[in-house]
Structure 1
Amino acid sequence: MVQEREKPWEVVFKPGRFPVEIRDTRNHGSTTAPPPKPLLLAFPNQSGDYPIVLCFHGFMIPNSSYTQILHHIASHGYITIAPQMYCITGENSKPEIDDAAAILNWLPEGLSYYLPSEVRPDLEYVAVAGHSRGGKVAFGLALGLASEKTKVKMSALVGIDPVDGRGRGHQTEPPILTYKPHSFDLHIPTLVIGSGLGEKWNLLVPPCAPDGVSHREFFSECSVPSYHFVASEFGHMDFLNDDTGPLTFFCKNGVAREPMRRFSGGIMVAFLHACLRNDSEALNHLLLHPEDAPVTLEPPQSFVTETYKIFSKL
């Protein structure tokens, strides 16, 4: 009996075919071209040329809290890079945007020193992503807000529950949101992943992703082409590893993180396949059939032409 082949939209939510190795640049030192910030690298441990995904962490969250989602993406054939941007910081994120540009510009001369010789970064295809405040940093970098001009072209952008401050009228510096629809002059495909519970109060604790500065406003300001997926029953910290520390308890979250990690990692893979590998089958299917995702989704949204579309099962 011939076994039925798995569908592309099923494959993206499962571990990929590549074995993965994780390295910390602090433990694999090189006297040549050290990175501007310590990096966690997750990459396919198999000979080949691989696109790059640069991922920025959320406010006061260590980059090690993202290893499981980084591992998932890497297993599908991507070199994922998570800098440790700071240990303690203030409200102004401009220094992080400048550091992000420095890391991006370091990639051509420095990244290969920290990878096996047979693992070759494909610098023609570089995606930038960020969670929470890191999402703001990723958007700031893509919008050209860094003091240093970036030399590496960005091919795609992902905001993972991005946040631009404490609320509308209380954005942190530099403000990213303009409150003008489709005002972001990005010229690259953009994916915004949102959490339905991130905008909710957790007993007496304010929302971790407040309405007005959260994923919904980020997506509304994105230009063509852009995509928006929202997991309605999960929260702002459900993207992280299970063993992440006490900061996660301040946010209203779902009952378990594994489904949200699997979904967010998978939808990122579907998006990256579409943008960097010209394979949009999984992404297009999930836009039309969100019930095939491993979590409950709001109707996905897409701005792919000058006509704004909301996909549903109508």
Structure 2
Amino acid sequence: MSPSTTIPSTNVFEIGNYTTTLIKAEPNVCNRNKNRNNSPPKPVLICSPIEEGVFPVLLFLHGYLLYNSFYSLLLQHIASHGFIVVAPQLYLIAGSDANGEIKTTAEITNWLALGLGQVLPPEVKADLGKLGLAGHSRGGKVAFAFALTKSTSLKFSALIGIDPVDGSDVGKQTPPPVLTYVPHSFDLDGTAVLVVGAGLGEVPRNPLFPPCAPKGVNHKYFYSECCKPAYYCVAKDYGHLDMLDDDTKGIRGRPTYCVCKNGESRGPMRIFVGGILVAFLKAYLEDDESELVAIREGYDEKVPIQLSTFEFQV
């Protein structure tokens, strides 16, 4: 089969035409292994098409204290439209300081050129000239922080924050601070940005738990500091963790159902996030704006959930 462009596209809010596979790659700690430098610095979960082709790459950063595997269905949705998604497990234990995660993101980015090709299906090639960076929650903060450092030789053409959070309390940032509270202050060298917000993220679940995406440090403020081109949408009736898999088990999975204010179900939000990411990535990694323009001009009909906000600067 020839490259990815030969397979016809489908509705971005549906599973795409590519068959996908999930691949786990682990760091190699054996110093005697001659190929140890080609192993990832942290465990990574990769979702890739299995059909022959050359595909753009999305680096995806998980949220605070979550596992990368909790996003498996979202990653598969994106990959089924012809993308390779690389989701590192940035840490297992973390405090309030995200500097370590920024450093790890740099290491993973450098590894893409060295080792990604060795773990992909035989006929699949990664096009690192078409590279995107996305993060959810604190992972969104890390994605913005890393993009702003400009500390990699690879160029990110698309940056995505999925309900990004720059702090743990109302107006209180955690180190390193990303938001400056100066409109259009992010210096991203023209990188296109998409910010997706969860309408219930700033609503506390109950008096015992603060909101998971508080006002003052959430999606609204990230978008305010973006320059053109930038898109911003907020899912009205969905929560901060509603893009995760339906079934998240274990000591870290169970709290995802009770810590944040959630919508009625995760499926619709996950489908929306997957679809809007695909449309955005097609526009800014593959120069195909058709899906994004269609959503932009008629999102009330195209989008499968209700949005409270849809804005853009192009």
- TM exceeding 0.5: yes
- Aligned partner of 1:135 in structure 2 is 140
Q: How does 1:287-306 map to 2 (within 5 A)?
A: 287-291=296-300, 292-304=302-314
Residue 238 of structure 1, CA deviation? 0.1
Residue 116 of structure 1, CA deviation? 1.9
What are the Cα deviations for residues 49-90 of structure 1, in whole angstroms up to 9, with x where unaligned? Answer: 000000000000000000000000000000001000001110
- Aligned partner of 1:144 in structure 2 is 149
- Mapped partners of 2:292, 2:121: distance in 1: 31
Residue 99 of structure 1, CA deviation? 0.5
Identify which of 32, 55, 60 aligns with 2:60: 55
SS at match of 2:173: coil
Per mean C-alpha deviation after superposition, the further-off stretch among 32-41 and 129-138 is: 32-41
| Identity among equivalent pairs (%) | 48
In structure 1, give the amino acid aligned to 2:226. Answer: C
- Aligned partner of 2:172 in structure 1 is 170
- Aligned partner of 1:99 in structure 2 is 104
- Aligned partner of 1:246 in structure 2 is 254
From the superposition, tell whether residues 259 and 169 of structure 1 become closer, same or farther in structure 2 (CA, over 3 Å). Answer: closer
What are the Cα deviations for residues 221-241 of structure 1, in whole angstroms up to 9, with x where unaligned? Answer: 011100001100000000100
Q: How does 1:1-314 map to 2 (within 5 A)?
A: 11-26=11-26, 31-32=35-36, 33-144=38-149, 149-186=151-188, 187-204=190-207, 205-244=209-248, 245-248=253-256, 249-291=258-300, 292-304=302-314
Q: For the Cα contact (< 8 Å) 1:290–1:299, is it kept in 2?
A: no
Q: How many residues align?
A: 294
CA RMSD between the two structures:
1.8
In structure 2, give the amino acid aligned to 1:191. Answer: L
- Mapped partners of 2:123, 2:160: distance in 1: 28
Q: For the Cα contact (< 8 Å) 1:28–1:114, is it kept in 2?
A: no
Residue 167 of structure 1, CA deviation? 3.4
Flag structure 2 segments of 5+ consecutive residues without an equivalent.
1-7
Q: For the Cα contact (< 8 Å) 2:17–2:80, is it kept in 1?
A: yes
What are the Cα deviations for residues 149-182 of structure 1, in whole angstroms up to 9, with x where unaligned? Answer: 3121111100000000023542010000000001
SS at match of 1:299: strand
What are the Cα deviations for residues 174-195 of structure 1, in whole angstroms up to 9, with x where unaligned? Answer: 0000000010011200000000
In structure 2, give the amino acid aligned to 1:155. Answer: S
Residue 14 of structure 1, CA deviation? 0.3
In structure 1, give the amino acid aligned to 2:110. Answer: N
What are the Cα deviations for residues 188-228 of structure 1, in whole angstroms up to 9, with x where unaligned? Answer: 00000000000101121210000110000000101110000
- Aligned partner of 2:5 in structure 1 is none
SS at match of 2:135: strand
SS at match of 2:117: helix
| TM-score, scaled relative to structure 1 | 0.90
Q: For the Cα contact (< 8 Å) 2:198–2:234, is it kept in 1?
A: yes
